[in-house]
């Protein structure tokens, strides 16, 4: 109910101020927590605040390739430069990450099992100023579980 009131109020204000395009962006931010910066001509994708391309069709987005490790976390696991992360409500609460690769921002989906860890990192970022970008290692264990650690 509260969200509907905010959206209704925002629509009225947008019409009155003739700032409809800004309303569409703010609605998207409220809906799924991601800033929509640009939208392509045919509506297949949009770019998040870090510049990574996110396809509206969930199946066109790639999952991050997470390395399998044995019993303990090792130093030879790939470290990713994470620009941002969160939960994509438009993709059934799928955790996601934006990673810097070769100077470009790339969007990846993460396994649902990492939702709790993503939420922890996002909550930490709310407390600690300038938490992102940061270096993170993602792990997949033989028993099918996943984990992630911030590397300082």
- At 89-141, the pLDDT tens digits run 888 899 999 999 999 999 999 999 999 999 999 998 888 877 889 999 999 98
Q: What is the C-alpha radius of gyration for the chain, rounded to an integer number of angstroms? A: 17
Residues in CB range of 13: below 8 A, 6 or more apart: 23
Bigger pLDDT: 9 vs 52: 52
- 122 contacts 63 by C-beta, under 8 angstroms: no
Distance of alpha carbon 48 from alpha carbon 25, whole angstroms? 11
Nearest to 123 by CA among 33, 6, 24: 33
């Amino acid at each position: 109910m509260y969200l509907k009131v905010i959206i209704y109020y925002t629509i009225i204000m947008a019409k009155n101020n003739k700032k409809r395009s800004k309303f569409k962006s703010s609605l998207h931010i409220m809906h799924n927590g991601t800033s929509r910066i640009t939208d392509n001509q045919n509506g297949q994708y949009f770019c998040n605040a870090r510049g990574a391309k996110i396809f509206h069709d969930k199946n066109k987005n790639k999952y991050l390739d997470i390395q399998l490790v044995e019993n303990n976390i090792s130093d030879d696991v790939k470290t990713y430069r994470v620009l941002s992360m969160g939960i994509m409500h438009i993709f059934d609460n799928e955790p996601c990450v934006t990673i810097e690769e070769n100077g470009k921002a790339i969007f990846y989906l993460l396994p649902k099992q990492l939702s709790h860890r993503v939420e922890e990192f996002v909550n930490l970022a709310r407390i600690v100023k300038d938490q992102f970008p940061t270096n993170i290692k993602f792990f997949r264990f033989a028993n099918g579980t996943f984990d992630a650690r911030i590397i300082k």
